[in-house]
Structure 1
Amino acid sequence: MGCRISELVLDARDPERLAGFWCEVLGYVVLGTEDGDVEIGPPGVGFGGPQPTIVFNRTDRPKRGQLPLHIDVSPVGCDQEAEFARLLAAGATRADVGQTGRESWHVLADPEGNEFCLLRTPLEPLDSR
């Protein structure tokens, strides 16, 4: 038996703001707050479900520069361009990491500058059972 990723922890200057952004992006809800940290996850499932929860850890000194890990997201229920427009409207910004313009993905940044990619291939919604 192996391990599963149960939660991702991201440092944040403003955990509430990032939690709101990522709830909009992923369709997550706030699961709880503790000492300024905010945990979000799938509605009705929470910690231990098929998708990891995300904890936004309050810090005054988030790491700078390109991190060795970033999040990739895929559209669900629409195509890449419709999801790209939705993410920009939610507060994402375009990010330049040296793309050539021929990539099949879009590089974006969340409101605190954390880079993530929107992939082309849509995914089916997870079974909510």
Structure 2
Amino acid sequence: MACRITELVLDVHDPELLARFWCEVLGYVELERADDGAIEIGPADAGFGGPQPTIVLSPTDEPKTGKLRLHIDVNPTDRDQDAELERLLAAGARRADVGQTGNESWHVLADPEGNEFCLLRRRVEPVPTP
């Protein structure tokens, strides 16, 4: 039996801001708030342990230094890459430069706190709801 990724934890300065952003990007909802200020977001109909991992936005005062060693990749589900790029930029993402050549088939973006993520080209089917 193998393991499965059930949640991703991202240290952030403003869990509220990032929860709103990532909920809009992924179609997630707030699932839980912890006493330490962490907010867990995920699919409304599945929550923790479902087919998609949840994201825990954990508050920190530590500054982000350099490029993230692990980042999130997203794919459009109901539009092409160009239309999804415009939607993500309107939601608060911004373009990021991590040394790409400009010939990549993906876009490197950053969330409102500067955490890098990539918008890939290929359109994928949404995860079916139970």
SS of alignment partner, residue 82 of structure 1: helix
- How many residue pairs match? The answer is 129
Structure 1 gaps, min length 5: none
Query: Deviation of residue 87 (structure 1)?
Result: 0.1
Contact 1:8 1:53 in 2 (8 A): yes
Instruction: Using structure 2 for the length normalisation, give the TM-score.
Output: 0.97
The one-letter amino acid paired with 1:48 is G
Could you tell me which residue of structure 2 aligns to residue 118 of structure 1?
A: 119
Equivalent pairs: percent with the same residue? 71
Query: Deviation of residue 97 (structure 1)?
Result: 1.1
Query: Deviation of residue 63 (structure 1)?
Result: 3.5
Matches within 5 A, 1:1-129: 1-34=1-34, 35-129=36-130
Query: Deviation of residue 67 (structure 1)?
Result: 1.8
Contact 1:10 1:55 in 2 (8 A): yes
Q: Deviations over 1:84-119 (max 9, x none)?
A: 000000000000111111110000000000000000
Contact 1:78 1:122 in 2 (8 A): yes
Query: Deviation of residue 62 (structure 1)?
Result: 4.0
**CA-atom RMSD in angstroms:** 0.8
Instruction: Using structure 1 for the length normalisation, give the TM-score.
Output: 0.97
Structure 2 gaps, min length 5: none
State how far apart, in whole Å, the 2-side matches of 1:99 and 1:63 are: 20
